[in-house]
Structure 1
């Protein structure tokens, strides 16, 4: 198995502000408030979390699924 990255640089689509954040490993992060303009970010359609939509690195469950045979699902609701 390859290395799982726990940090991702998230970029606000409203103002362009970027911030490196630590991603949760046990759940999806559905909301993120931009530290530049205060916009509340939510995942794009088809993405499970804000890191998969706006980050430089996808969330840990998606990374893990790329290295194994398990389906790319995160969170208890399996909505990736």
Structure 2
């Protein structure tokens, strides 16, 4: 299986969607919606904004769920 390196973030305020590349070795703790300027922060139970608002969780979480997977950009 492969790890997704792109995720579509959906703003919970205006429902705007934007696909972003996820960093491999760090977590993203803040994201500003380009449409409504809302600053998103992760939910308390999540490690980053991709885990809270993205179509795919961050690579670190994906790797933990899949074990050692081959990294490929999809």
Q: Same fold (TM over 0.5)?
A: yes
RCO comparison, higher one (Cα < 8 Å, 6+): 2
Number of residues of Structure 1 aligned to a counterpart in Structure 2:
68
Structure 2 residue ranges without an equivalent (≥5): 69-74
Q: Which runs of 4+ in 1 moved over 4 A?
A: none
Length-normalised TM-score, structure 2: 0.88
Matches within 5 A, 1:27-66: 27-66=26-65
Matched residue, 2:20: 21
Q: CA deviation at 1:36?
A: 0.9
Structure 1 residue ranges without an equivalent (≥5): 70-80
Q: CA deviation at 1:67?
A: 1.2
Matched residue, 1:68: 67
